[in-house]
Amino acid sequence: MPSHLHPWPNERIRSFRRALLEFFQQRQRDLPWRDAPWRDTPTPYGTLVSEIMLQQTRVETVVPYYLRWMKRFPDPETLAAADDEEVLRMWQGLGYYSRARNLLKAVREVVTEYGGEMPRDRAQLEGLPGVGPYTAGAVASIAFGEPEPAVDGNVRRVLARLMDDPVPKPGTLERWARGLVDPHRPGDFNQALMELGAMVCTPRSPSCSSCPVSTHCEALAKGTVEERPAPKTRRAIPRLVEAVAVMVRTPTGGRPEPEVLLLRRPATGLLARMWGCPGREVVGGDDPARVAWELARELLAGEIVDGAADRSLAPGESVCEERAEGPETPTELPSVEHVFSHRKVTYRPYRFLVEEADAPLGDAPFADSPNLRWVSFGELGGVPLPVAQLRILDSVRGAEADGPP
């Protein structure tokens, strides 16, 4: 909204802008996606990449990923032409992989619909896959100088304290941010608000004594800074256990190093299109080793365990009792825990050694499946793998180095 519709008088708004922009000029962090005399001027594409990466991820984590990404995909055309798996691999370790998939979709749309030029209109930006109101406002203001607000978590906290509002509504935040944004330096202003929230107006123990806009803060005047905004009620995160069948094919004359069987996840849902060792949720009181064994047997068409492939284990029967002799007994590997945004998963991996005699047709029954393949240890670096799977495979390599059980 225009500044004259903001509850503050115009002179107070101008005073707030001056103080905040001076703070930004003096204390902004040197980040590779920001304009500086010693680096190339950031492109609108680079701004989009940085803003997508920064969603739910700390700045210090993003910096090396951004630098690698821009070196490999320096412009929209290069990214649009890239293989989907390579894009996921470049994102590997950053988490929230839907961001990478949406970024790829958005940039391909920019190339096909806008001739490779990022749209500057906020509505058009919001029409791109994975681009919401905040990201659209950030790109429009930072890359194009459009007087658009950009309200992320840091800005929400700053505005809630300025207003002394425990639970500010999205519409209220949007109106306040739009009324405050500097029309001459909107990109710097929005980044300054973000920096203020990240460096000074922090969730806990804010540095009010060094805040450049403390005289404008209603919460500080009323002694309610620590209570603003009111903490959200946290829902309990469900905990799941997943048995993982780590099937390792031993070397032969034609295969100088071990191979591991990887499964590609479906095109939608959690970790979509990522690769990893096959897994299955453990329900109730089921034995994780049993679940992993049955999964391995199904995948290898019953050939993984001689003499036991034609039946499931009886309830309570131990895998080790069924397979007490030889290296085919599965080896339990260290558990791996990983917290997603909406669930906590404990992975219980078990290693199965697959001899040539166990799978005489080699890649069958996987030859016709694009979602199952044997990958040598040396080739794992070229496959997009989630962090938890990387940890599991690290333990597998360690077990292989120690020799068979």
Q: Is 355 a catalytic residue?
A: no
Q: Is the peptide bond before 229 cis (omega within 30 degrees of 0)?
A: yes
Taking a C-beta distance cutoff of 8 angstroms, is the pair 264, 371 a contact?
A: yes
- Non-local (6+) Cβ contacts of 77 within 8 A are 111, 116
3-state secondary structure the chain: CCHHHCCCCHHHHHHHHHHHHHHHHHHCCCCCCCCCCCCCCCCHHHHHHHHHHHCCCCHHHHHHHHHHHHHHCCCHHHHHCCCHHHHHHHHCCCCCCHHHHHHHHHHHHHHHHHCCCCCCCHHHHHCCCCCCHHHHHHHHHHHHCCCCCCCCHHHHHHHHHHHCCCCCCHHHHHHHHHHHCCCCCHHHHHHHHHHHHHHCCCCCCCCHHHCCCHHHCHHHHHCCHHHCCCCCCCCCCCEEEEEEEEEEECCECCECCCEEEEEECCCCCCCCCCEECCEEECCCCCCHHHHHHHHHHHHCCCCCCCCCCCCCCCCCCCHHHHCCCCCCCCEECCCEEEECCCCEEEEEEEEEEECCCCCCCCCCCCCCCCCEEEEEHHHHHHCCCCHHHHHHHHHHHHHHHHCCC
Separation CA 304–CA 296 (nearest Å) = 7
Of the candidates 11, 22, 51, 298, the residue annotated as catalytic is 51
In angstroms, the CA 153 to CA 165 distance is 15
With beta carbons less than 8 A apart as the criterion, state whether 149 and 1 touch: no
- Residues with catalytic roles: 51
